[in-house]
Amino acid sequence: GVCQGEVVNSVGAGDSMVAGFVAGCLSGKSYADTLKLATACGGASAFSQDLAKREKIEEMVKQWA
């Protein structure tokens, strides 16, 4: 799946997704939760003017609940 939102600036979204994946792996999350975090990080950056802030990432993670 993907996060829902309006794309503002996609620059860095892929890098944010990779960072979310690495963070999920290093924190011991399950594979499914790691993919959710990665997608949330990428989406949050795409839906922000700059790279996403924690609050925006947490908002995107809640879409998966």
- Residues carrying an active site annotation: 15
- Nearest to 33, CA basis, from 45, 46, 21: 21
Phi, psi of 16 (to 5 degrees): -65, -35
CA 12, 52, 65 angle in degrees (round to 5)? 115
